[in-house]
Structure 1
Amino acid sequence: MADFLVPSTASPETDAQHRLNGPIHAKRHVRVICIGAGASGLLMAYKLQRHFDNFSLTVYEKNPEVSGTWWENKYPGCACDVPAHNYTWSFEPKLDWSAVYAGSREIYKYFNDFAKKYNLGRYVKTQHQVVGSYWNKEKGGYDVQVKDLENGTAVSDHCDILVNASGILNNWQWPAIPGIDKYKGTLLHTANWDDKIDLSGRHVGLIGNGSSGIQVLPTIQPHVQKVTTFIREPTWVSPVQGLEQHVFSDQERLEFATKPGKLLEYRQGVERGLNGQFGIFLKNTNTNNETETYFRQQMHDKLQNDYLEERLVPNWHVGCRRLTPGVGYLESLGKENVEVVYGEINAITEKGCLCDNGNEYPVDVLICATGFNTSFKPRFPVVGPSGKNLQDVWKEEAQSYFGIAAAEFPNYLIFLGPNCPIGNGPVLSAIECQADYMLKLIDRFQTHNISQFSPKQEAITDFIAHKDHFMQKTVWHDPCRSWYKQRPDGPVTALWPGSTLHYIEAMMEVRLDDWEVKYNGNRFAWMGNGYSQTELDPTADWAFYIRENDDDEPISRGRKLQLINKSGTLQGNLGVSFSGKQVTDAPPAVESKL
C-alpha cells in the first residue's frame, strides 16, 4: 500500500491535499504515544510493529525496566492466580513454566523475554513518567508532558493518538489508617517490597486478607517468630480453580517442548475450563450454587475453628470479590505462631496496631497488603478539546465505551478501562482483543482523512444502562467491599457485563455508528487520485477477482464466527464448578439454525 508522509505538525489542509494527490487508502504517517510498558503496552508495540508501517511509536515507562506490575511486585508468595500456561499471549506460549501457578519472577521473565525477542525496547523509554496530556486545537492530537525521572528534567512530545496502558493494579497506596506515619518499626507494602528486609525470627503484622495477603501469609509463616494478621471482613478463599498446584517435571516440560500438539492441547483444555466457569458469577445458577457449597465445605475443613469460620465465611455470594486460590492460607491461620485479630484497626501507633477491641498489638514489621487505587481516574491530567479533564469527569464514576475510550476525549484509547473483563476471566485474552480493536481504529485513522474519533456520549449512556441492568443478576451486585466498585452499594465499574468470550465477540467488529468521527476537509478525500493500491503494486495480480469457484470468506457475522471458533469440532462444552464437577447452565437459545 502506498504511503505518504505528513508530519504531525502538518495542518489538516495539508493532509487532505496529499490525499488528493495519492491513491485510494494512502497511509499517512501516524505518531502514537503509549503510556506504560507492562503487558498491555508491550502488546501494543508488538502489534503495531507486526501489522503497520509508516508510523512512529514511543512507549513511556516510569519504571527502570519493562513488564509493569510483574517487575514491581516482588513480595513473598507473589504469583498469578491463573494457570501459568494460560497467562501468556494466545500466540506466544512458554514451554518451561516451573509450576501451574508460577511466581512473579517467572512471569516477569516471560514478558521481559517477549520484549527482547521482538526488539520492542527500541520503542521504550524507561524512567520517563507522563505527567500531563493536553489536546492541541491547532494541529490535533495531544501535547504530552513527560518527566525524565533519571535526571529530573521535563520532556515535551506530541502524538496523533494517545494510548493509556498504565494499568489498573499498579498505583499502590498505604491504608487510610490514622497514625501510619508514626510507626517506628519496619513498614512494608506488598507492591513496594524491599528484598533486603529479613523477616526471619521477627514478629510480623499483616494487614489485609485480599489476594496479596492470602499469598503472603503461608509464605512467611514458617520463617517468622510470629504473625499477627489483621482481618476486618470475611472473604471467600477459593481452592485452586480445578487445577491443584503442581510442579512440572523435567519429562513434562520436555514433552511440552518436543511433542507436537501436546502443549496446545493442554492450554486449550485449561482455557475451556476457565471459560466454562462464568456461571459462577450469576446468582442462582447451578454452577454458582454448586461452587458455594463446595467453598463452604472447603473452608470448614481447612479452618477447623468455629470462631474463625463464623467471621471469615461471608454471607454474600461467591465471586462478589476477586477469587484468589488460597494455597495454604486457611491452614496457616491455625498455626501456633499465627494470631488472627478480627475487626477494624482504629489507629497505627509507634509500636503497632490499636484495634477496635481496645487492644494494642506491637509488631517488629508491619506489612500492608492493602492493594491499589482502583478508581480508574487517570493519574495525570487528560484534557480534551472542550477543556474538560478526564480526572474530573471520572471523579465520581468512571464511564467508558467497552473499557477502551471516553466520550469527548478523541484519539485517546485505554487498555483495561472501566467495565471490561479484568476480574471474571482470562485477562490477557481481553487485552488482545482490545489491542486488535484499537488497531482497527488506527488503521482507519491512517488510511482515511480522519482528524478525530471518540465514542458518542449516547452510546456510552446506553452501554452503562445495559451494564447496570445486567449486573443486578450477578454476584458482583451483592453488598461486599470490592475493588470492582467504589463502595459496597455502588455500581460495578470494573467488570464487563458478560463472559470473556462474550467480550471477545462484542469486540470483533468496530461499530462506527457508536463513534463520533471528524474529518480533515472532505470526508471522501481518502479516495485520492482515482488509482487503486493494486495498480501501484507491479507484483500484484490485477485480475485477482477472476476465479474458477467462489472461495470468499464468510460475509455474515454468524458464519464468520463459526469459522473462527471452529464450530462442530467438539462434542459439547459444559460449565464447571470449582469442585471440578461439570454443571449444565445452558444459555438460552434465541436463534435456531436452519
Structure 2
Amino acid sequence: MSSGVLHTLSAAAPEPTTSTAGINGAAPTGYKLGEFCIDEYRPIKVVCIGAGFSGIAAGIRFPQKVPNVNLTIYDKNPGVGGAWYLNKYPGLACDIPSHCYQYTFEENTNWSAFYAPGPEIRAYLERVADKYKVHKYLKLSHELTGAYWDERKSHWRLTLRRLSPNSTPENPQYEDIEDTADVLFSSLGALGRWKWPDIPGLSEFKGRVLHSAQWDVTDGHWEEGVRDWGDKKVGVIGVGSSAIQIVPALQPKVKQVVNFVRGKTWLATPFSGEKMAELLKRDAGAANYKFSDEDKKRFKEDPEFYRKFRHELESDLNSVHGATLRGSAQQQGAREAFKENMMKKLAKKPWIAEHIIPDFAVACRRLTPGPGYLESLCEDNVTFETNEIKRVTPTGIEMTDGRHYELDVIVCATGFDTSFKYPFPFVGRGGVTLHEKFTPHPRTYMGMCVDGFPNWFQSLGPNSGVGSGSLLVIIERQLEYCVQATLKMQRERLKVVEVKKEAVDDFDEYLEAYFPKTVYSEKCRSWYKMGKEEGRVVGLWPGSCLHAVRALAHPRWEDFDYELADPVKNRFYWLGDGQTYNEKTMTGDRAWYLSPEEVDIPPIPKD
C-alpha cells in the first residue's frame, strides 16, 4: 500500500478499539503500553567531579550525545585544568610530545616546544572549555566531601564544600551544600593529592618549605616568584618526574641547588624525537625542540601536513610497548641506548652515573625524558647528594653521616598518595566504603567501575594509566564508555546499572596474570605500585595503549546488572507506545536515517 493511500485511509479511519482478547484469541495479560514514545527520553542528571582533561571532555560529550541531560561539573580549584591548574612548579612541562597530548577532536598547531610548558597546556584547556561553552556546567571552588549511594532513591547523594557568599580573601568562610546524581562520573585521578615526606624536623625549618604540587606563584608564573632567589640555597628532595624538571629550571636562577636523591631512575632519549626531526627535517639532537614560527605557520596553513605530522608522532609513540615486556629485544635496546645517553650527559661528573643509572628495567618506574636534568647536575652550583637524610634542622638538612647543608628553601618533590583511597567518605551499597573495597589494593572493572557502587564510572581510576602511548585517548574512551552507559539507562528506562562482582573478579584475575610478564613487576619504587618497591601494579592498564582503546570500544553489557526505573516488569516497556516523538507530534526530521551522519556508505571493492 502506498503512503498516499495510507494517509487517505488514516484520515478517515475510526479510532482503534481495545480488544479484550490477546493475540490469536489468547487471554489478555493485563500489560499496558507505556504512554510515551520510544525516543521521548526521560531527564537524567549527571554530575562530574573534576574539571581537568576528563571533566572538560565530559562538558562537551554529555550535552552533545545525551538528550535531556542535566549536567554539573564540580571542581575544588578556582579554575579549570585539574593537575595542570594545581601544579605550577618551576620547569613544569609535558613529558610526552605536545602534539600527542591533546584531544583527538581539538588540534593545537601552536605548541611552542616538543615538550610544552605547563602554562601552555592549561591555556589549551581553557581555550577548549571556552570554545565548547563548558563553563555553563561548571561550579568551581566546590570540593567533594562525601558521596553516598541512596538505596531507596537509587541515586548518589553528594556533599560539597564551597566558599560562602560572605567570604573574603582575608577571612575565608565555607559552607556545606548537597546535590544528587543519577549518574556519577569522577575524574579524581591518582596525582592530585600530594604527599609530604616523613622526615623529622620538617615543620621546624625556619626557611621556606614548598611542595612541587603546592608551589606559590606570583603574578601567574613561577619565574616571578623566584626572581629574587639569586642568593638562595635550595634543596630539592626527590628524583621523580617533578624533581627532574625542577632542578634544571632552578639551577641558573639560584646560588646553589642540592638534589637529595635516594633512588635511581632512567632518563629517556626524547620520545619520538627522531620521528619529529624526520618529518620536519630538523636536528634530531635537540633535547626539547622549540618550534619555529615557520613550523607553526606550516602546521596551521597545511592541515594535511599537520594531520600527517600528528599521526606519525602518535604512531611512533604507540610503537614502543614491546619495551615494557621482560626480556624483549626492545627492552634491551632501550637500556643500552638510555645508558649511553645518560653517560654522555654526565661526562663532567661521571661518578653520578653509578648512583642514578638503575639496575632495574627501563619503564619499571615512570619514564621521563627530563631534558636538561643530567646536564644541570654537572653544573658547579649543583650538588647531587645520595646519602640518607637524618633530619631537617631550623637552618637546613642534616645527613646521617653528620654533614649539614645550610639552606634557604626546601622543595619536596616527593610525589602523591597513589592508593586511590580518597580523603572523604565514598559509600556504596550496604554502607560499604570504597576504602574497604580498595584494601589491600583497588579492584575494579576495567579501571572504571566497582561492584556495589552503582551508576558510578571513573576516568583515570586504578589500572587506567599507560606506560607508553597517549593518556588522552584513554580518557576519551573511558568517558565515551560512561556516555554509552548513560544513554542505555535513558533509552531503556533503567534506574540502576551496576557491574557484576564476578566481572570484577575476572578482570582482577587478568591483571594478576598479565603484569608478571612485564617490567613493571620488577623491584623498583614506583607510584604504579602505590609507592612501593614490590607488590600489586595498580596504576597501569594491563596492556598497551592501543590494547586499551580496543578493549574500551564496545561495552560488554552482559557484565552488568540492571534495575528498571518503572514499576513494570516487562523488559520491553521502554518500547513505549509504538511510535517516535517526531511522528507523534509531526515535528522534526522523520527521515533522519538518511542524513549524512547516519548513512554508512560502504567502499567499493577494487577487485
TM-score (norm 2): 0.85
Equivalent residue, structure 1, for 2:215: 193
Q: Which amino acid aligns with 1:98?
A: S
> Does the residue aligned with 2:252 lie in a helix, a strand or coil?
coil
Residue 146 (1) aligns with residue 165 (2): no
Q: Which amino acid aligns with 2:420?
A: F
Between stretches 318-327 and 195-204, larger displacement belongs to: 195-204
Q: Which amino acid aligns with 2:216?
A: D
Residue 218 (1) aligns with residue 262 (2): no
Residue 348 (1) aligns with residue 392 (2): yes
Between stretches 185-194 and 389-398, larger displacement belongs to: 389-398
> Does the residue aligned with 1:129 lie in a helix, a strand or coil?
strand
- Of 494, 515, 527, the match for 2:560: 515
Q: Which amino acid aligns with 1:269?
A: E
Residue pair 1:377, 1:394 contacting (<8 A) in 2 also: yes
Residue pair 2:93, 2:116 contacting (<8 A) in 1 also: yes
Between stretches 253-262 and 122-131, larger displacement belongs to: 253-262
Equivalent residue, structure 1, for 2:170: none
Equivalent residue, structure 1, for 2:26: none
Residue 404 (1) aligns with residue 448 (2): yes
Equivalent residue, structure 1, for 2:187: 165
Shift of 1:267: 0.5
Between stretches 328-337 and 235-244, larger displacement belongs to: 235-244
CA RMSD of aligned residues (A): 2.1
Q: Which amino acid aligns with 1:272?
A: S
Residue 371 (1) aligns with residue 415 (2): yes
Percent of aligned pairs with the same amino acid: 36
Shift of 1:250: 1.1
- Of 413, 420, 431, the match for 2:464: 420
Residue pair 1:144, 1:158 contacting (<8 A) in 2 also: yes
- Of 54, 57, 65, the match for 1:51: 65
The separation in 1 between residues aligned to 2:525 and 2:306, in whole angstroms, is: 39
Between stretches 437-446 and 345-354, larger displacement belongs to: 345-354
> Does the residue aligned with 1:228 lie in a helix, a strand or coil?
strand
Residue 330 (1) aligns with residue 374 (2): yes
Shift of 1:91: 0.8
The separation in 1 between residues aligned to 2:128 and 2:151, in whole angstroms, is: 38
Q: Which amino acid aligns with 1:346?
A: K
Residue 488 (1) aligns with residue 515 (2): no
Matches within 5 A, 1:60-459: 60-150=74-164, 151-196=173-218, 197-198=225-226, 199-243=229-273, 244=286, 245-304=288-347, 305-459=349-503
The separation in 1 between residues aligned to 2:240 and 2:431, in whole angstroms, is: 39
Equivalent residue, structure 2, for 1:10: none
Equivalent residue, structure 1, for 2:167: none
Residue pair 1:449, 1:519 contacting (<8 A) in 2 also: yes
The separation in 2 between residues aligned to 1:379 and 1:28, in whole angstroms, is: 34
> Does the residue aligned with 1:153 lie in a helix, a strand or coil?
strand
Equivalent residue, structure 1, for 2:18: none
Residue pair 1:143, 1:159 contacting (<8 A) in 2 also: yes
Residue pair 2:237, 2:411 contacting (<8 A) in 1 also: yes
Q: Measured at CA, do residues 126 and 544 of structure 1 come closer, stay the same or move farther in structure 2, by a change above 3 Å? A: closer
Q: Which amino acid aligns with 1:511?
A: R
Residue pair 2:466, 2:545 contacting (<8 A) in 1 also: no
**Paired residues, what number?**
536
Residue pair 2:53, 2:81 contacting (<8 A) in 1 also: yes
Between stretches 440-449 and 356-365, larger displacement belongs to: 356-365
> Deviation digits for residues 555-581 of structure 1, max 9, x if unmatched?
xxxxxxxx9xxx99xxxxxxxxxxxxx
Q: Measured at CA, do residues 260 and 164 of structure 1 come closer, stay the same or move farther in structure 2, by a change above 3 Å? A: closer
Q: Which one has the largest radius of gyration?
A: 2
- Of 579, 599, 602, the match for 1:531: 579
> Does the residue aligned with 2:517 lie in a helix, a strand or coil?
coil
> Does the residue aligned with 1:268 lie in a helix, a strand or coil?
helix
Shift of 1:402: 0.9
Shift of 1:421: 2.9
The separation in 1 between residues aligned to 2:425 and 2:481, in whole angstroms, is: 25
Shift of 1:541: 4.9
Residue pair 2:188, 2:461 contacting (<8 A) in 1 also: no
Residue pair 2:467, 2:544 contacting (<8 A) in 1 also: no
Between stretches 338-347 and 104-113, larger displacement belongs to: 338-347
The separation in 2 between residues aligned to 1:294 and 1:73, in whole angstroms, is: 31
Shift of 1:176: 1.8
Q: Measured at CA, do residues 18 and 275 of structure 1 come closer, stay the same or move farther in structure 2, by a change above 3 Å? A: farther
Shift of 1:426: 0.4
> Does the residue aligned with 2:310 lie in a helix, a strand or coil?
helix
The separation in 1 between residues aligned to 2:90 and 2:62, in whole angstroms, is: 36
Shift of 1:25: 4.5
Residue pair 2:187, 2:461 contacting (<8 A) in 1 also: no
TM-score (norm 1): 0.87
Q: Which amino acid aligns with 2:245?
A: Q
The separation in 2 between residues aligned to 1:19 and 1:350, in whole angstroms, is: 77
5+ residue gaps in structure 1?
Answer: 1-16, 546-550, 555-562, 569-594
5+ residue gaps in structure 2?
Answer: 1-30, 165-172, 219-224, 274-285
Q: Measured at CA, do residues 310 and 53 of structure 1 come closer, stay the same or move farther in structure 2, by a change above 3 Å? A: same
> Does the residue aligned with 2:430 lie in a helix, a strand or coil?
coil
Residue pair 1:534, 1:542 contacting (<8 A) in 2 also: no
> Deviation digits for residues 419-445 of structure 1, max 9, x if unmatched?
123443200010011111110000001
